């Protein structure tokens, strides 16, 4: 009888431990697959790169206000936003350095395949 109780206990423990995990893990940032130009990247560009890179706002620098241009220039964008403000080529000019979370979002967009929508 004692063997049956022990066997049952071991079986229940094994079952419990097998299914005792969280399937949902909290994430502070969207996954790479969820990062899109329209939903995540365009707002960064509009807020941080205007007016210089937004022709409709009077910008005369290389336009980044559309998906094709942002996608084409993502490597240069990433390089420049990771510079320190005192380094030549730092962007966004005349704005504070982008947060680590924002830079990580740009990287996730690139690593996730540069989705548009």
Query: 25 falls in which pLDDT band (50, 70, 90)?
Result: very low
pLDDT of residue 38: 96
**pLDDT of 29 higher than 60:** no
Among 30-44, 69-83, 96-110, whose mean pLDDT is lowest? 30-44
Helix axes 100-111, 74-81, angle to 10 degrees: 160
% of the chain at pLDDT higher than 90: 62
pLDDT of residue 11: 66
Question: Phi and psi for 115 in degrees, rounded to 5?
Answer: -65, 145
Sign, CA dihedral 73-76-82-84, equals: negative
Per-residue pLDDT tens over the stretch 51-67? 999 999 888 899 998 99
**pLDDT of 108 higher than 80:** yes
The ranges assigned to domains in the chain are: 29-111
Please list, residue by residue across 79-104, b when 16 or more beta carbons sit within 10 angstroms of its beta carbon and e when fewer do: ebbbeeeeeeeebbeeeebbeeebbe
* 79, 82, 83, 89: CA torsion to nearest 10: 40
Question: Phi and psi for 99 in degrees, rounded to 5?
Answer: -70, 160
DSSP characters for 11-31? HHHHHHHHH-S-S----SS--
């Amino acid at each position: 009888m004692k063997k049956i109780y022990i066997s049952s206990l071991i079986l229940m423990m094994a079952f419990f431990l097998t299914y005792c995990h969280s399937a949902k893990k909290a994430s502070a940032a969207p996954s790479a697959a969820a990062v899109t130009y329209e939903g995540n990247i365009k707002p960064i560009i509009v807020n941080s790169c205007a007016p210089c890179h937004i022709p409709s706002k009077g910008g005369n620098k290389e336009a980044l206000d559309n998906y094709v241009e942002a996608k084409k220039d993502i490597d240069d964008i990433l390089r420049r936003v990771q510079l320190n403000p005192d380094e030549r080529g730092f962007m966004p000019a005349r704005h504070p350095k982008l947060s680590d979370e924002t830079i990580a979002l740009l990287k996730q967009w690139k690593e996730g395949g540069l989705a548009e929508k």
